[in-house]
Amino acid sequence: MTIHTLLVANRGEIACRVFRTCRALGIATVAVYSDADAGALHVREADTAVRLPGNAPADTYLRGDLVVAAALAAGADAVHPGYGFLSENAGFARAVEDAGLLWVGPPVKAIELMASKTRAKELMAAAGVPLLAPVDPAAATAGDLPLLLKAAAGGGGRGMRIVRDLAGLPGELMAAVAEATAAFGDGEVFAEPYVERGRHVEVQVMADGRGTVWALGTRDCSLQRRHQKVVEEAPAPGLDDALRTRLHDAAVAAAEAVGYRGAGTVEFLVSADGRPYFLEMNTRLQVEHPVTEAVFGLDLVALQLRVAEGAPLPAAGPPPPHGHAVEARLYAEDPARDWQPQTGTLFSFDVPDEPGLRLDTGYTGGDTVPVHYDPMLAKVVAHAPTRAEAVRLLSRALRRARIHGPATNRELLVRSLAHPDFTGARPDTGFYDRHLAALTAPAPDDGPARRLAATAAALGRAATRPATGPARFGAWRNLASGPQTRSYRAEPDGTTYDIAYRTVRGALLPETGERVVAAAPDRVTLETGDGLTRHFALAVHGESVYVDTAAGSYTFTALPRFTDPAEHTAPGSLLAPMPGTVVRLADGLAPGAAVEAGQPLIWLEAMKMEHRVLAPATGTLTELHAAPGLQVEVGALLAVVRDASAHQEETTP
């Protein structure tokens, strides 16, 4: 069967990625979209788009019946599921085929066999694939610790918990079951040994319907937050040939064991002593597939379409690999604040377009980042002859990108790529557990650079005002005017910079001593005392000022000269850090309850992740405005805790 029109049952970056290949192959494209995505890039890029009424994934992208109906209404021949949403849902794949449409994915039976991690492990054991032995939580002992609890039907870190204390096992098990049930409709959870400092290494496979299975090298995806990948690379560094061969052979055996067809990924955990253990098989295209494409010079989506049409793979084996590729996932989130997702208008989004770089994204400048979906903005990929060159190219591209709007993890990515554990090819899944605080702390030598950027911001804004006309009515004075001061708060750490400058004969003179080479509303050039000339690109949106330099980017909030007393919040107030839905409360939480500082009180779900709201101090809960199912906006008052120490000070004579 030849595909003429393809519907992508997804949104954002992956939909745009599939459309790109379709355009190259002459295939017409169909998008589906929720109300929140009505103006999204994937809708603008498709030849035809079909609305799925509503905003929440459960009402839109997860409604397989609506997606199939959309494909039929648009005259599509085939459906590509992308990743996430319904991509590994056997029932959806069967519904697509039952409707007479071509399913661009593996056989339904293969999806079913790999859908449950517990069942998949049984199959892999029979195929001789190395495994971690499961542990019965009810019979676990101290010798089994640490344990990893995992949802049998899960993915993306949902329903996953690390347990290091037997006393905490029942509570963590209950929480994992609740999260798995909410996320997947299946509360089955299993336990296995947690491998400290293990590496997440995976093998991309591609299989046709005629018995050929390619193992397309390895990828290292060890840098993860909340069990979701952040930085990926191919090939996985530091593996000897024997281990690579073992991983390739195991991946091929896994694919053959389930009669696989199309693109898939077999994931392994590699222990510190080099022993591999099967984790799971993802029966879909992976987010990180671009690094494999770069190294092997392939278009995996084109191969998916070719195989779905019934054609064989073009050769008995894959082409030889070349060079090294590294991918960074750019998220709208604040890593320093428990990875809180961010929403709002993305005013500017420009990543350098240079040889060796690739940008896969679902956003352009002016788009809005919604609250309902995963906060990933883009994947930035660098390919070069060596790993060091690829890392350097990627780091430079991230530093020079102009990203104005919601906070992102861009600075974390730059610092991660420069960390000795990463540059030394020693990644492991505990990287951010150990290093997050240091990677998100203000750099000790960044203060002067930020003050210089704040100076440029003040001078750029001063340059927007019209020049003062000639003095009249005896107002002339033979004295220099007094300095003007503007205050800017650096985001997100909150450091305030007071910038003083004078205007003399139309020229701007900062009190800090720099020489102003040029000043305009969008660009300032300063010469510092050491004779170095630095350029600053400026963009102002409301009270936010974005300053981009060759060395990095800064965001400032212009502070008013006088504050509004109404802006103050009562002490002990717990405010919603993001728009979302309250999913649960701490046991027994009610006005009058005693709470401890740092105790999780309220759980919010936003952008596919759960976020805890913690007690700010030890004291008493005096107000509770949250309840399960309540949808809240950012800044909404959830509860109030009265600080016990403050209360004691008030009552002490």
Question: In the Cβ-directed half-sphere of 514, how many Cα atoms lie within 13 Å?
Answer: 29
CATH number of the domain at 299, please: 3.30.470.20
In a domain, 622, yes or no: yes
Classified as helix, coil or strand, 432 is helix
Residue 608: pLDDT over 80? no
Which pLDDT band, with edges at 50, 70 and 90, does 156 fall under? Answer: low
Instruction: Report the pLDDT value the prediction gives residue 607, as an integer from 0 to 100.
Output: 64
Residue 270: pLDDT over 50? yes
Instruction: Report the pLDDT value the prediction gives residue 329, as an integer from 0 to 100.
Output: 98
Residue 449: pLDDT over 50? yes
**558, 581, 601 — which closes off a domain?**
558
Instruction: Report the pLDDT value the prediction gives residue 157, as an integer from 0 to 100.
Output: 66
Instruction: Report the pLDDT value the prediction gives residue 611, as an integer from 0 to 100.
Output: 79
Which carries the bigger pLDDT value, residue 222 or residue 481? Answer: 222
Residue 652: pLDDT over 60? no
CATH number of the domain at 182, please: 3.30.1490.20
In a domain, 215, yes or no: yes
Same domain, 14 and 66: yes
| Minimum mean pLDDT range among 38-52, 374-388, 490-504 | 490-504
Instruction: Report the pLDDT value the prediction gives residue 647, as an integer from 0 to 100.
Output: 53
Query: pLDDT for 85-110, tens place per residue?
Result: 999 999 999 999 999 999 999 999 99
Instruction: Report the pLDDT value the prediction gives residue 477, as an integer from 0 to 100.
Output: 44
Residue 565: pLDDT over 70? no
Residue 416: pLDDT over 70? yes
Same domain, 402 and 328: yes
Same domain, 249 and 352: yes
Instruction: Report the pLDDT value the prediction gives residue 487, as an integer from 0 to 100.
Output: 92
| Minimum mean pLDDT range among 113-122, 318-327, 398-407, 566-575 | 566-575
Which carries the bigger pLDDT value, residue 409 or residue 578? Answer: 409
Q: Span 362-366, mean pLDDT?
A: 97
CATH number of the domain at 511, please: 3.30.700
Q: Span 429-433, mean pLDDT?
A: 95
- Greatest distance between any 2 Cα atoms in the chain: 97
Same domain, 209 and 167: no
Q: Which residues contact 7 (CB under 8 A, 6 or more apart)?
A: 29, 30, 31, 32, 50, 67, 70, 71, 74, 76, 78, 79, 80
Number of folded domains in the chain? Answer: 5
Residue 469: pLDDT over 50? no
- Integer Cα distance of 300 and 383 in angstroms: 16
Spatial contact of 16 and 78, defined as CB atoms under 8 Å apart: no
Same domain, 461 and 512: yes
CATH number of the domain at 621, please: 2.40.50.100
Q: Which residues contact 111 (CB under 8 A, 6 or more apart)?
A: 88, 89, 90, 93, 105, 283
| Minimum mean pLDDT range among 474-483, 601-610, 630-639 | 474-483
Instruction: Report the pLDDT value the prediction gives residue 154, as an integer from 0 to 100.
Output: 64
| Minimum mean pLDDT range among 145-154, 247-256, 465-474, 583-592 | 465-474
Instruction: Report the pLDDT value the prediction gives residue 5, as an integer from 0 to 100.
Output: 98
Same domain, 87 and 227: no
Same domain, 289 and 399: yes
Q: What is the identity of the amino acid at 597? A: A
In a domain, 112, yes or no: no
Q: Span 436-443, mean pLDDT?
A: 91
Query: pLDDT for 165-177, tens place per residue?
Result: 888 898 889 888 8
**193, 223, 243 — which closes off a domain?**
193
Residue 566: pLDDT over 70? no
Which pLDDT band, with edges at 50, 70 and 90, does 598 fall under? Answer: confident
First to last CA, the chain: 87
* Number of residues assigned to the chain: 653
Question: Which residue is associated with the tokens 């640490």?
Answer: 146
| Minimum mean pLDDT range among 143-157, 270-284, 398-412 | 143-157
Which carries the bigger pLDDT value, residue 643 or residue 404? Answer: 404
Q: Span 479-499, mean pLDDT?
A: 82
Which pLDDT band, with edges at 50, 70 and 90, does 219 fall under? Answer: very high
Q: Span 428-450, mean pLDDT?
A: 90
Residue 650: pLDDT over 60? no
- How confident is the prediction for the chain on average, in pLDDT? 90
Which carries the bigger pLDDT value, residue 513 or residue 421? Answer: 421
In a domain, 474, yes or no: no
Spatial contact of 555 and 543, defined as CB atoms under 8 Å apart: no
Cβ neighbour number for residue 119 with a 10 Å cutoff: 13
Instruction: Report the pLDDT value the prediction gives residue 646, as an integer from 0 to 100.
Output: 58
Same domain, 539 and 589: no
Burial of 428 (0-12, 13-18, 19+ CB in 10 A): buried
Share of the chain above pLDDT 70, in %: 93
Instruction: Report the pLDDT value the prediction gives residue 467, as an integer from 0 to 100.
Output: 43
Same domain, 280 and 393: yes
CATH number of the domain at 34, please: 3.40.50.20
Which pLDDT band, with edges at 50, 70 and 90, does 481 fall under? Answer: low
| Minimum mean pLDDT range among 78-82, 367-371, 405-409, 557-561 | 557-561
- Integer Cα distance of 599 and 167 in angstroms: 17
| Minimum mean pLDDT range among 142-151, 196-205, 519-528 | 142-151
Q: What is the identity of the amino acid at 357? A: L
What are 581's strand-pairing partners?
Answer: 605, 631
- Integer Cα distance of 383 and 358 in angstroms: 8
In a domain, 157, yes or no: yes
In a domain, 261, yes or no: yes
Q: Span 568-590, mean pLDDT?
A: 83
Instruction: Report the pLDDT value the prediction gives residue 2, as an integer from 0 to 100.
Output: 96
Question: In the Cβ-directed half-sphere of 35, how many Cα atoms lie within 13 Å?
Answer: 5
Residue 458: pLDDT over 50? yes
Same domain, 238 and 366: yes
Q: Span 352-359, mean pLDDT?
A: 96
Which pLDDT band, with edges at 50, 70 and 90, does 318 fall under? Answer: very high
**167, 193, 219 — which closes off a domain?**
193
Q: Span 143-160, mean pLDDT?
A: 78
Same domain, 429 and 315: yes
Residue 466: pLDDT over 80? no
Spatial contact of 163 and 147, defined as CB atoms under 8 Å apart: yes
In a domain, 118, yes or no: no
Same domain, 528 and 595: no
Task: Name the pTM for this structure.
Answer: 0.84
In a domain, 533, yes or no: yes
Q: Span 486-504, mean pLDDT?
A: 89
Query: pLDDT for 228-246, tens place per residue?
Result: 999 999 999 999 999 999 9
Residue 66 structural domain: 5-104
Instruction: Report the pLDDT value the prediction gives residue 468, as an integer from 0 to 100.
Output: 43
